[in-house]
Amino acid sequence: MENNRIGVYICMCGTNIAKIVDVEAVVKFASEIPEVVLAKSYKYMCSNPGQEMIIQDIKENKLNRIVVAACSPNMHERTFRSALRMAGLNQYLLEMANIREQCSWVHSDPVEATEKAKALVNAAIARVKLHEELENVSAQMCPNVLVIGGGIAGMTAALELADAGNTVYLVEKADHLGGNLARVDLTAPYLYSARDLLTERITRINNNKNIKVFLNSKVTSLTGYIGNFRAVIQNISPVVQNKTIETEVEIGNVIVCTGYKEFDASRIVHYGYGKLPNVITSFEFEKMLRAGRIETKEGKTPKYVAIIHCVGSRSEEFHSYCSRVCCMTALKYAHEIKSAIPECYVSDVYIDMHAFGKGHEDFYRSSSQAKTLFLMYEKGDRPVIHKAGPKDDCEMLIEVNEKLSGETIEIPADLVILMVGMEAREDAYEVARIVNISQDKEGWFIESHPKLEPVATTTDGVFIAGTCVAPKDIPDTVAQARAAAARILARISKEKIEIDALYSEVNPNLCSGCRLCNLLCPYSAIEFLEDKKQSHIISALCKGCGVCVAACPSSAIKGRHFTDQQILAQVEGLLAEKL
């Protein structure tokens, strides 16, 4: 058996680590540990010169184990694995010690931080001695794609994939494509027609032979793994209620674009929605605009219109997040009202004005010039709407504790538009369960990494895009849809999918068939083989989380790269008395 020749590299991370940890003391400590051939420090190990140093040292010193003490493995483990591959060394002969997030960033005493860094490095060295060469496995990639949701995100993704020559199954619950955008008149800030945007895409979809559209349908099951999924699509049309029509399709990847639903304004009693006939929601006002008339329930042209922001958003009682599109949509309404009824007085009642996108600040400025009255109220406070008296020349009065003036102001209104926020759909939980993805506390789908993997999920082959992830506007929604499609096209082009070697394995000689692991696996990666009465782990689905390994009463499951011996060696190295 080949003797261990270990190289240890301590990263300074600029001053992120070196400011608290005595890096050179850690280097000296590591160099004295048996089987460590060399130990070095560098300002940024993840940089190209840092990686080149590791590659060169592996070749010149015949290193066969590498320890990098730096930031979290979540950040740069892939980077250093790539360096090992380039040097001709198996990428799994690497171990990282996190001396930034778990050491320098959480300590203020340099002496204690340095001692802890030594312990973490010692643990990594003890563990890497037991690392084994592992090889990734591959599986065939089916080029067909399932897109769930026929809104602007779903249609955009479907067209990107279909135009590249792939078969796309586009599933939509409603009887038409377009999603929530189909309920909108014009889009902010450039006042483009939403109908024109959708018509172009729907026409292209209908003319694209690679896209198979399933209206009045939903996905009822998804089985398999990346590159080899099997989905069942069920028709839920009222016409065929007494008859179940199901279609089974083979796909390689899935994009979930199920969108959002608007907040129920009747939950806020202060606004009188549902009781005062001329208090309406933003989508009800959009319906008016699409019909080409702005009028009260009595058919009168309103003299006073008030627009109230953040209905259901930025509220601890309902949703603390910002719905992002409401401010610009409210300004759009002010433009449209002034254009249709020049003599109308428009009041815009807001908490904060979020004009963050391209062209939004100019749009805000032009709204001010159109003589819209802007009134700011405190977050946590709410305007109160009540019916006006017989002597007033309006139908309602709105009482606002105006923040900038510090006064309580009463404004007239014949029509009140409530800018309802976005919230997760009622069927989001069901969709998440079927495609095996997670939701946050608000019900939005969770991405694999909010910054580095904004359209991926923890289930390989399942992507998310648009407003099912979080509130966003049309440009961001389209960008996410195209990003998800691009990720899938990159995988399809390889024809095979490479599966990480870090997965668990069942020893058939020890498995008793108790099925405990089947129940506990959070990724649905374990199947039960009825003919053998044993469990089997689908490597392509397994994430190596170790739940099954820890739970197995027969010790029949082994976690590759996380064996009992490796973990115990790491613990012993961490707790060694003399460092």
Q: What is the pLDDT of residues 36-72, one digit of tens each?
A: 999 999 999 999 999 999 999 999 999 999 999 999 9
Q: Are residues 431 and 513 in the same domain?
A: no
d(CA 214, CA 174): 10
Yes or no: say if 480 and 525 are a contact pair by the CB < 8 Å rule: no
Inside any domain, residue 449: yes
Looking at the chain, how many residues does it have?
579
Q: Are residues 388 and 477 in the same domain?
A: no
Residue where a domain terminates, one of 392, 422, 452: 422
Residue where a domain terminates, one of 93, 108, 134: 134
Q: At what angle do helices 152-163 and 474-494 cross, to 10 degrees?
A: 30
Inside any domain, residue 463: yes
- What single letter denotes the amino acid at residue 563? T
Residue 523, domain extent: 504-560
Q: State how many domains the chain has.
A: 4
User: What pTM value is reported for the model?
Assistant: 0.84
Distant-in-sequence, close-in-space partners of 422: CB < 8 Å, separation ≥ 6? 260, 261, 262, 263, 313, 323, 324, 325, 467, 471
Q: What does the pLDDT look like over 135-163, one tens digit per residue?
A: 988 888 999 999 999 999 999 999 999 99
Q: Work out the number of other CB atoms within 10 angstroms of the CB of residue 496.
A: 11
Q: Are residues 203 and 249 in the same domain?
A: yes
Residue where a domain terminates, one of 496, 523, 550: 496
Task: Give the per-residue pLDDT at 1.
Answer: 59
Instruction: Report the CATH number that the domain containing residue 177 is assigned in CATH.
Output: 3.50.50.60
Task: Give the per-residue pLDDT at 240.
Answer: 64
Q: Are residues 126 and 150 in the same domain?
A: no
Q: Work out the number of other CB atoms within 10 angstroms of the CB of residue 434.
A: 20
3 state DSSP class of 400: strand
Inside any domain, residue 572: no
Inside any domain, residue 356: yes
Task: Give the per-residue pLDDT at 216.
Answer: 96
Inside any domain, residue 566: no
Identify the segments of the chain with pLDDT beneath 70: 1, 240-241, 577-579
| Cα dihedral across residues 491, 496, 502, 508: positive or negative | positive
d(CA 487, CA 492): 9
